[in-house]
Structure 1
Amino acid sequence: MIYRRSIRVEFNHCDPAGIVFYPRYFEMTNSVCEGFFRDVARYSFAAMMAAGEGAPTARMQADFHAPSRLEDMLDWRLSVEKLGRSSIGFRIEAHCGSSHRMTALPTLVLVDEAGRPQPWPTHLRDRITAFMEEPDEP
């Protein structure tokens, strides 16, 4: 299954030439991950923090295929590549129309207050697994 979210490129995302400054893509990928946890896993980052947990990014690989410019509407597409004991690997792509702009492969890890990895709770693992098993829309 694919989780989708649209984000319009704003002035704060751009360098002086009006092109997305690459660190802003990482902020947007984090926003897409946060939306996934809120909307699909039904465990928002706020709820994680209130429970003394978090899901920081432990690894990030990225490829930039084409520049994005001010006012472009980016269609972000997230799929779960791997669900580990305490980690989750995503594939996140940004598209604008037929143009593929960026691919990111972040790995997030569920951690406790001390920053130690901990296993996904059963209810959360079940929701993510169900999402992974849903067929993609045509």
Structure 2
Amino acid sequence: MPQSFTRQRMVEFADTDMAGIMHFASFFHYMESVEHEFFRSLGLSVYTQIEGKAISFPRVAAKCDFKSPAKCEDVLDANFKILRLGRTSLTYQIDFSCEGRPVATGEITCVCCHIFHDRPPESTPLPADFVKLIEPFVAAD
């Protein structure tokens, strides 16, 4: 059974549209926020130095499927898991709910890259120490 990582966040007024419903783009901000909290809980970061090289995780895909509205001041539970752990990439899933009611499911796929100041990022295999830390959160098939 994979380990669970869950965070709560209240829907703020600035995250809503004129109907008082959480704006679709706000889910993407929440997903990145939960991802960052997940990495930090493991002593990592989305931008870090590994083996003397700058490493980050640019996105190559992101989506969010909406199931029911979230409104201003609703408290959302965001359950984070890793759907797929590839050689150079990760796919996350974040399930949002409010008092047990499904609200949305988002996915982000990112690629581990060396970051350079003078040229584009280059994909690189996920470092073994990194993989060891995140493996317990990979969802079972």
Provide the C-alpha distance between the structure 1 equivalents of 2:22 and 2:53, rounded to a whole number of angstroms: 35
Partner residue of 1:122 out of 128, 133, 136: 128
Aligned residue in 2 for 1:63: 65
The structure with more strand, counted as a fraction of residues:
2
TM-score (norm 1): 0.87
Provide the C-alpha distance between the structure 2 equivalents of 1:18 and 1:51, rounded to a whole number of angstroms: 44
- Give the unaligned 5+ runs of structure 1: none
Partner residue of 1:54 out of 56, 62, 78: 56
Fraction of identical pairs, as percent = 27
The Cα of 1:29 is off from its aligned counterpart by 0.5
Aligned residue in 2 for 1:78: 80
The Cα of 1:128 is off from its aligned counterpart by 0.9
- Is residue 43 from structure 1 mapped to residue 44 from structure 2 by the alignment? yes
Q: AA paired with 1:129?
A: E
Aligned residue in 2 for 1:92: 94
The Cα of 1:30 is off from its aligned counterpart by 0.7
- Give the unaligned 5+ runs of structure 2: none
TM-score (norm 2): 0.85
The Cα of 1:46 is off from its aligned counterpart by 4.8
Give the total of aligned pairs.
133
The structure with more helix, counted as a fraction of residues:
1
**What value does the CA root-mean-square deviation take over the aligned residues?**
2.1
Q: Is the CA contact 2:47–2:57 (under 8 Å) kept in the aligned structure 1?
A: no
Provide the C-alpha distance between the structure 2 equivalents of 1:57 and 1:39, rounded to a whole number of angstroms: 21
Alignment of 1:13-32 (within 5 A): 13-32=15-34
